[in-house]
Amino acid sequence: MTRPPTEDIGSLGEFGLIAKIKGLLPQGPDIVLGPGDDAAIIKASDGLVVATTDMAVEDIHFRRDWSSARQIGAKVAAANLADLVCKGARPTALLVALGVPANLPAEWALELAMGLRDEAAKVGASIVGGDMSRSEKIVISIAALGSLDGRAAVLRSGAKVGDLIVLAATTGLSAAGLTLLKSSNIPDADRFEELLSAHRTPRLVYQLALDLATSGAHSMCDVSDGLIADLGHICQASGVKGRIDPARLDLSTLQDAAAMLSVDPLRWALAGGEDHAFVATVDPETPLPGGVRVIGEVVSGSGVEVVGIDVSHWLGGHDHFDLRHSRSSTS
């Protein structure tokens, strides 16, 4: 049986595609006015709006031969939602700007929208509008909004000497998955599905980040560029030093792939990005939610120290304009 030809975006048209996407997007209780007007209207009960934005470019942040449209949508949404919840904000709305080739199948764009929608739904957020343009490669840009609901925001600048450094979720999985995707002839690749999946669609522990915020975390950051780099942002903003005990990191899921690829798993755990785990500093007396691991302490000084290991030769964070290094799918 021959399948009917796939309708592409060029033949469907901008407004035809928008109409199809709108039909996929339910609106939550925080939304006064959703897609279809010149601008959306979102409630802000305490008068404060937490806002962030992030961009993903085809062959830089994702590859269509490695990830489905739905996986890409979920991953891009997660990158924005993580920035909100690490501030202690409850995500409410996403605005999505999309640049696509005219010959891209409309079905691909609809699957992307479903990935965005489903990830946003995990935290009760809605997609309320955006923009669309023709582009040689796919470009996805998101602005995400959140509400503090009367709580104080958790900033990078609040870490104090004597704080414990804690980690919600595991780092290094996405970096390991990316290394595997770049490698050819991986025997029995199915046994590494958890790592491959972590790169394609990271599973974020949103509620743990919000629990840390409400329990009084002094500072927090999502780990998008690597644990050393993102903890370093906290330390720089707070004027302190972070000391990590590598023995407290969970490397169990990384060990087999690291041995096969002759990689030190600590490198993935300390310098690998895109897991969107959450690193925070808390008072030692703060009760910690289940699933949060103590990995070090805040001391006087500056920068980040990993006890017993010289990590100066490892990548200290992703820089889009440093052509020597990249976390991207094509590097």
In a domain, 101, yes or no: yes
In a domain, 168, yes or no: yes
Top pLDDT among 104 and 188 is at 104
Q: Are residues 80 and 103 in the same domain?
A: yes
In a domain, 235, yes or no: yes
Domain boundary residue among 100, 124, 147?
A: 147
Q: Are residues 135 and 226 in the same domain?
A: no
Model confidence over 232-255: pLDDT tens digits?
A: 999 999 999 999 999 999 999 999
Q: Are residues 142 and 13 in the same domain?
A: yes
Q: Are residues 127 and 162 in the same domain?
A: no
In a domain, 319, yes or no: no
Q: Are residues 34 and 143 in the same domain?
A: yes
Domain boundary residue among 90, 114, 147?
A: 147
Q: What is the CATH number of the domain that holds 205?
A: 3.90.650.10
Q: Are 289 and 241 in contact (CB under 8 A)?
A: no
**Could you give the CA distance from residue 129 to residue 289 in angstroms, rounded to a whole number?**
35
Domain boundary residue among 129, 147, 165?
A: 147
Q: Are residues 134 and 203 in the same domain?
A: no
Per the structure, the count of domains in the chain is 2
Q: Are residues 164 and 142 in the same domain?
A: no
Tokens of 106: 């409309």
Instruction: Provide the 8-state DSSP code for 69.
Output: H
Q: Are residues 175 and 296 in the same domain?
A: yes
pLDDT at 326: 46
pLDDT at 11: 78
Q: Are residues 106 and 139 in the same domain?
A: yes
pTM of the model: 0.88
Model confidence over 129-166: pLDDT tens digits?
A: 999 999 999 999 999 999 999 999 999 999 999 999 99
In a domain, 299, yes or no: yes
Contacts 24+ apart (CB under 8 A), 249-258: 249/167, 249/171, 249/293, 249/295, 250/170, 250/293, 251/172, 253/170, 253/173, 253/194, 253/195, 254/172, 254/173, 254/176, 254/195, 256/191, 256/192, 257/176, 257/179, 257/180, 257/192, 257/195, 258/176
Q: Are residues 231 and 164 in the same domain?
A: yes
Beta-sheet strands, E only, within the chain: 31-33, 41-42, 50-57, 90-100, 126-134, 139-147, 164-168, 219-223, 241-244, 277-282, 292-299, 303-306
Domain of 213 in residue numbering reads as 156-306
